[in-house]
Amino acid sequence: MQLKRYFYRCRDCLTVVANESEHPVKPAACDACEGSIECLGRVVPSGKRAAKSTPCDYRCTNARGPNCDCVCGGRNHGSWADVRFNSSTPVPRLMIPKSAAEHSIQFWARCRDVEREWKQVYGEISDRMGARYLDADDYKRYVAGVKVWNRYQYTKKLRSHAGRMKRLNSIINELTARTRSAK
């Protein structure tokens, strides 16, 4: 039996959904938050099936990934999250409920806070780096700013809302402490 359910995750709001289709839909966008969608893969039986007497339960129907190891062999896997695509737009959109956008809103608001604080702490030294030679102390400060910026960029790629927010808050606290110590 060829299963035709694919799992997708929005890169912004991190909502995981499934869709029945012949092939994965790429590229795609999230209807809730406008984020880009990544395909997690097609539902496949893992080969480690549970006992034949064990029926599917919420672990299968509420699954958040494509690997199924229950007796259904994937037929019911992720069925709770089945949504449709709106293909009438230039980029197909997964019809994710608008309520899912809350994580995306919180995330991008915190990203703006990090960028604002970073510019306040390191913006001037970063601008000077391209214009002229920096002495040793200024260069150390510049390197510290680059390290913070790289951590911020890495944090934006994390795949859990709690993890992203925890790291963003840590970066904000670090930048705020540096602002206070500079005064």
Residue ranges per structural domain of the chain: 5-96, 102-182
Tell whether the model's pLDDT for residue 155 goes beyond 90. yes
Residues 52-84 pLDDT 10s: 555 677 777 777 788 777 777 777 777 777 778
pLDDT of residue 1: 47
Nearest to 83 by CA among 160, 146, 21, 35: 21
| Selected residue with higher pLDDT from 87 and 183 | 87
**Sheet arrangement for strand 16-20:** 16-20, 5-10, 37-42
Q: How far apart are CA 169 and CA 126, in angstroms?
A: 22
Q: pTM of the full predicted structure?
A: 0.77
| Selected residue with higher pLDDT from 78 and 38 | 38
Instruction: Name the percent of the chain in helix, strand, coil, to the closest 5.
Output: 45, 15, 40
